[in-house]
Amino acid sequence: SVPRGIRNHNPGNIERGAPWQGLADSAEMTPEQRAEPRFCVFRAPKWGIRALARVLITYQDKHGLRTVRGMISRWAPPADTNNTEAYIRTVSDRLGVAHDTAIDVHTYDVARALVEAIIRHENGRQPYDRATIDTGLALAGIEPPVLITVRPAPAPPAKPAPRTLRQTSTGKTGAAGLLAAGGTVLTVAAENADAVLDAATNPAVRALDTAAPWIGGVLAALATVAILLLLARKHRLETAG
């Protein structure tokens, strides 16, 4: 019940004659394989797939056959009682190309599709998994393409945007908060008139006026309050004396 090509590990049904790699010795064969009168018997499917791929490469490189029609006409000629035209149609449909479209069996995708189509037509089925097919093609010198993935460089950390006055704790208090804060400042200024006056006239503190204009107004108000408080204190001292 097992097709002859599958039983002999020779899915292309290649005839005896060439010293192929992977041919089975008589001691390695089953009684059915030893009774095979015409076709090669290989030790494992990968060797039969390799031989099939090497025949197709020879057709292209040595005989200049670059189409499904050209390859199958040589592989299964009408003289050997083959229905060559039906074979050509089946393989072309499997590859998804026209009969006379140029193909390249050195290309992995083409070679794999062509080998699987021939195996299916020769045996009525294609029983091998992808790993077995790929191993046989690799032994014939046909490797699948290697995909190289380049990881993108990590993005530099984002710098935080500078905060505006509205985003600061002072800016968020609003007008009501500023008034409340101003009342507190005036109370402290009254209790510390000398220190406030000194701070208001200090050049380093005055330089802040350039960075934030509102600071100048606050300092001027504080300075005025401090001067008035100092004059009032002086007046009390003179009166008491």
**Averaged pLDDT, groups of 10, the chain, 241 residues long:** 95 96 96 95 98 98 98 96 96 97 97 98 97 97 82 75 55 47 48 51 53 58 66 64 57
- Per-residue pLDDT at 236: 66
Name 15's bridge partners: 39
Task: Report if residue 175 sits inside a domain.
Answer: no
Amino acid 1: pLDDT: 79
pLDDT at 188: 47
Domain-terminating residue out of 75, 107, 140: 140
As a whole number of Å, the CA-based R_g of the chain is 48
The answer to whether residue 205 is domain-embedded is: yes
Tell me, what's the pLDDT at 152?
A: 73
Domain boundary among 80, 108, 140: 140
* β-sheet bridge partners, residue 42: 23
Provide the domain count of the chain: 2
| 189 lies in the same domain as 124 | no
Q: Are residues 24 and 106 in the same domain?
A: yes
Tokens 């059915």 — which residue? 32
213 lies in which domain range? 185-239
- Indicate the residue among 86, 119, 140 that finishes a domain: 140
The reply to whether 147 falls in a domain is: no
Q: What is the pTM of this model?
A: 0.62
- Structural domain includes residue 213: yes
